């Protein structure tokens, strides 16, 4: 194959090479260091119209009319970026404030829950004291079953919370920032162990 290509080249008259007009070599040079650094720094504020214009002019050899259009395009685009960045900062601040409010409400709820739990323990202790020995044995078995189901529920809730916290900004992959299912209520609370 190589020999064939050399033979074809040798058969061509030298005049064919001499007659070819020399076109200016305009090969794209790629982004320069300043442009690369700018791209790294511009994620929030969008394109710098002047640097973008320089970059595209260097790559494409734009006419004066094209330069005006390109600069306007990137000026308009930068306006969208700046507005979007400003909104994102606002929404992030609002989200942080809401998250702090949720944490505060959870702290208050946990304090109140402690009082409720204490009241429940007192009620169960007083109730147990009024039972016969036979009733106390059944009552203790009921309490053990309730405690086991509560432990199982808490374990499931913690696992669910961990799964949901794997997303960005503490939100789950589905964006849910809940705290699992509500605790079981009433008599039959799921499978018995």
Same domain, 80 and 37: yes
16 or 40, higher pLDDT: 40
Hunting for tokens 């529920």 — which residue is that?
A: 153
8 found inside a domain: no
CA distance 85 to 104: 29
How many domains would you assign to the chain? 2
The answer to whether 67 and 50 have CB atoms below 8 angstroms apart is: no
39 shares its domain with 50: yes
Do residue 102 and residue 156 come from a single domain? no
Domain enclosing residue 78, as ranges: 29-130
Query: Quick one: 38 and 126 in the same domain?
Result: yes
CA distance 39 to 31: 10
Which range, 11-15, 36-40, 61-65, 79-83, is most confident?
61-65
Residue 73 domain-assigned (yes or no): yes
Do 72 and 105 share a structural domain?
yes
**Distance between CA atoms of 56 and 30, rounded to whole angstroms?**
10
Q: For residues 177 and 175, what is the distance between their CA atoms, to the nearest angstrom?
A: 6
Residue 193 forms part of a structural domain: no
Domain-located, residue 75 = yes
Does residue 54 carry a pLDDT above 80?
Answer: yes
- Of residues 116 and 130, more confidence is placed in 130
Same structural domain for residues 126 and 36? yes
111 and 138 both lie in a single domain? no
Statement to judge: residues 49 and 100 lie in one domain? yes
Residue 21 — very low, low, confident or very high, per pLDDT cuts 50/70/90? very low
Radius of gyration of the chain (CA): 37
DSSP assignment letter at 21: P
What's the mean pLDDT in 95-113? 91
44 and 126 housed in the same domain: yes
74-87 pLDDT, tens digit per residue, is 999 988 888 888 89
Q: pLDDT tens across 138-177, in order? A: 999 999 999 999 999 999 999 888 887 775 555 555 554 4
Instruction: Give me the residue label for tokens 């040079």.
Output: 29
**Helix, strand, coil share of the chain (percent; to 5):** 70, 0, 30
Considering the domain boundaries, does residue 126 fall inside one? yes
| 23 belongs to a structural domain | no
Confidence of residue 28 (pLDDT cuts 50, 70, 90): low
Contact between 167 and 173 under an 8 Å Cβ cutoff? The reply is yes
Q: Which comes out higher in pLDDT, residue 166 or 136?
A: 136
- Token look-up 């009024």 returns 130
Residue at 4 is within a domain: no
In a domain, 148, yes or no: yes
| pLDDT, average across residues 21-44 | 65
For residues 3-28, give the mean pLDDT. 42
């Amino acid at each position: 194959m190589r020999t064939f290509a050399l033979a074809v080249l040798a058969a061509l008259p030298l005049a064919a090479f001499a007659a070819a007009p020399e076109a200016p070599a305009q090969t794209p040079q790629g982004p320069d260091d300043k442009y690369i650094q700018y791209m790294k720094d511009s994620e929030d504020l969008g394109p710098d119209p002047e640097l973008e214009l320089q970059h595209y002019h260097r790559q494409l050899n734009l006419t004066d009319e094209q330069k005006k259009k390109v600069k306007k395009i990137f000026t308009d685009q930068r306006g969208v970026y700046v507005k979007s960045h400003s909104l994102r900062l606002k929404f992030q601040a609002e989200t942080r404030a809401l998250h702090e409010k949720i944490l505060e409400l959870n702290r208050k709820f946990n304090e109140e829950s402690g009082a409720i739990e204490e009241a429940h323990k007192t009620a169960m202790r007083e109730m147990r004291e009024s039972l016969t020995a036979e009733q106390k044995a059944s009552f203790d078995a009921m309490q053990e079953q309730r405690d086991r189901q509560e432990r199982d529920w808490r374990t499931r809730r913690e696992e669910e919370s961990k799964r949901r916290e794997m997303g960005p900004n503490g939100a789950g992959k589905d964006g849910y920032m809940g705290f699992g299912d509500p605790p079981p209520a009433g008599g039959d609370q799921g499978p018995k162990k």
